[in-house]
Chains A and B, each alone.
Chain A
Amino acid sequence: MADAVRDLVRDGDTVAIEGFTHLISFAAGHEIIRQGKRDLTLARMTPDLIYDQMVAAGVARKLIFSWLGNPGVGGLGAIRRRVESDPPQLELEEYSHFGMVARYTAGAAKLPFFPIRSYFETDLPKANPLIRPIESPYGDGVVYAVPPLQPDVTIVHAQRATAGGDTQVWGLLGCQKEAAFAAERVIVVVEEVVDEAVVRADPNRTILPGLIVDAVVVEPWGAHPSYVQGVYDRDNRFYLDWDPISRDEDAMQAWLGEWVHGVTGRAEYVEKLGAERLAALRPSAAAPSGSVDYGEYR
């Protein structure tokens, strides 16, 4: 992870660590903090705890997002304090969820904008002048355009990939595919590396080909405290505990000192969490997919 972040994430970059509640690469975010990256523009539909931590650590100057909160729990203290301070210490560029997905889609498809039927009669286009009304060239009314988003680096966590970066995901798919295809550089973090034969046996499960992946990092539990479908559940206690920590800047800095700067990497973080806590996050039972027959055609 240290090598991937050193080689592929640069000061001033626009970085997207995507994954909608599911598969959030906390491991990559923490490594970016440890390496003291600066002036990053952080893009994510839902900044979640990871961007609260990265903002508290001082790596970011701007957020591009669509929903800012601790899902199911409350707010994000570090971000709120910086936005509510006068003058604000963090720049915001705000969309709706579909707006963000549409931005990555335009970025991946090299389109100049993406038209969507959102934003009518709302204050969002006033808050963000990059959201613009556009007349249909076919004369059937106005829609809203959002600009392409092409991150310098997109980082996604996945259940598995080959060493070459062919990446497979199941469960919530979020917008990782769009965000990765839109990016200049892509880091994939996985629970396990698998043989090419595993991927080729189930090609519908592949979200990214190795062709667009610059680094594959194996980091079991790398999405904790978020979750990996079929492997571990969200550590909800962590999300609940984050609320009071996040409200208090000193507590937050102390947390970063202990859990990010105080460990060398994810393996040490996992050891520090302890086997008992992690074991409790395993699914209560297996629920394997039915298998399908792709057939062989010679």
Chain B
Amino acid sequence: MNSRPVAFSKSEMMIVAAARELAGQRVCFVGVGLPNIAVNLAQRTVAPDLELVYEAGVFGARPARLPLSIGDPTIVSGATAATSMFELFAFYLQGGLIDVGFLGAAQIDRFGNINTTVIGDYAHPTTRLPGSGGACEIAINARQVFVIMRQSVRSFVETIDFRTSPGNLGGAEQSERIRREQGWLGRGPSVVVTDLGIYHFDETGEMRLDSLHPGATLDAVRETIGWGIRVAPDLAATPPPSAEELRLIREELDPGGAYTT
């Protein structure tokens, strides 16, 4: 065990914490951006048997390099199956085979509802974002949803400008009722990992800070969230990245620092 502490960035801590959340999971649908590096780290550490599912039409990817995008040729070579996108969305996702949908977000609210469509009014946006991609159906059909994103008052907001992907709607009671009545397969969001901490959702369906990353403070958390965030009474401290986790990120997965700088 390396006893000398190694310096690490907030982004590295976020990716490591997100990867660790995948321990014990079997099938993960990989979203665009940060989820891509987190799941690839998980496959090399806590979850070697994790089946990576990419919306481009791949089940059981074993990427030899970090995919440059979620449509990279490395996700095909050596995979279990390369399918049409119809098959992927209809049979694998809507068919109920996905344990975890791993998403990024531009805006999120206290109930884990996500916006990746526009900032401002839809017809006259101040910022046009990418849109749903597969996120809307992942949020509805994956058994649970993990979110990874950096915190800021622009991203953690009281009211999102557009609901692209549903979370716990207006709270747990309403969300559970609607999901049951409409027969959704998904239970909704369960984890949000940021550059400052790890959040789960309490019995009311609201986000709650359960673990604070090393170097982060409660003040920094509160300053970057647009509502009064709930904090677990037994707030944990996230263990720092291990030397091996950092080596994998720096040497194997992201030597160019695309995700970490």
Residues of chain A touching chain B, judged by Cβ–Cβ distance below 8 Å, are 20-22, 45-46, 65-69, 71-72, 75, 79-80, 83-84, 86, 88, 94-98, 101-102, 105, 116-124, 126-127, 140-142, 170-175, 177-178, 227, 229-230, 233-234, 236, 239, 283, 287
Which of the residues A67, A84, A86, A117 comes within 8 Å of B137, measured between beta carbons?
Answer: A117
Q: Which residue of A lies closest to B169 (CB)?
A: A121
User: How many Å from the CB of B183 to the closest CB on chain A?
Assistant: 6
The interface residues of chain A lying within 8 Å CB-to-CB of B69 are: 21, 71-72, 234
Q: Which residue of A lies closest to B64 (CB)?
A: A284
Whether A174 lies near B68 (C-beta < 8 A) is no
Q: A22-B56, A173-B83 known; A233 and B73 CB under 8 Å?
A: yes
The interface residues of chain A lying within 8 Å CB-to-CB of B128 are: 68, 75, 79-80, 83-84
The interface residues of chain A lying within 8 Å CB-to-CB of B63 are: none
Which of the residues A121, A234, A287 comes within 8 Å of B178, measured between beta carbons?
Answer: A121
The interface residues of chain A lying within 8 Å CB-to-CB of B164 are: 122-124
Asked whether any CB of chain A lies closer than 8 Å to the CB of B71, the reply is yes
A-B contact pairs, 21 of them (CB 8 A): A20-B57, A21-B56, A22-B73, A67-B133, A71-B69, A72-B68, A79-B128, A94-B132, A96-B133, A96-B137, A102-B86, A116-B137, A117-B94, A118-B137, A118-B141, A141-B181, A141-B182, A141-B183, A171-B73, A173-B57, A175-B84
Whether A96 lies near B83 (C-beta < 8 A) is no
Residues of chain B touching chain A, judged by Cβ–Cβ distance below 8 Å, are 32, 55-58, 67-73, 76-78, 82-86, 89-90, 93-94, 117, 122-137, 140-141, 162-166, 169, 178, 181-185, 258
Complex CA gap A123/B163 in Å reads 5
Complex CA gap A46/B71 in Å reads 11
Whether A98 lies near B137 (C-beta < 8 A) is yes
Chain B interface main SS type? loop
Q: Which residue of B lies closest to A227 (CB)?
A: B73
Q: A20-B71, A67-B130, A122-B164 known; A83 and B122 CB under 8 Å?
A: no
The interface residues of chain B lying within 8 Å CB-to-CB of A94 are: 117, 131-132
Whether A67 lies near B132 (C-beta < 8 A) is yes
The interface residues of chain A lying within 8 Å CB-to-CB of B126 are: 84
Complex CA gap A66/B185 in Å reads 22
User: How many Å from the CB of A273 to the closest CB on chain B?
Assistant: 19
Complex CA gap A94/B132 in Å reads 9
Which of the residues B85, B123, B185 comes within 8 Å of A97, measured between beta carbons?
Answer: B85
A-B pairs with the 4 shortest C-beta distances? A21-B71, A72-B69, A67-B133, A71-B69
Complex CA gap A97/B129 in Å reads 15
Whether B134 lies near A127 (C-beta < 8 A) is no
The interface residues of chain B lying within 8 Å CB-to-CB of A118 are: 136-137, 140-141
The interface residues of chain A lying within 8 Å CB-to-CB of B89 are: 97-98, 101
Q: A20-B57, A67-B130, A174-B57 known; A117 and B140 CB under 8 Å?
A: yes
The interface residues of chain B lying within 8 Å CB-to-CB of A117 are: 94, 137, 140-141, 183-185
Known contacts A88-B123, A122-B163; 16 further A-B pairs (Cβ under 8 A): A21-B56, A21-B70, A66-B133, A67-B131, A72-B258, A75-B130, A86-B124, A98-B134, A117-B184, A119-B136, A120-B140, A126-B122, A171-B76, A172-B57, A174-B56, A174-B57
Whether A172 lies near B125 (C-beta < 8 A) is no
The interface residues of chain A lying within 8 Å CB-to-CB of B125 are: 83-84
Whether B72 lies near A234 (C-beta < 8 A) is yes
Q: A96-B136, A97-B134, A98-B137 known; A116 and B73 CB under 8 Å?
A: no
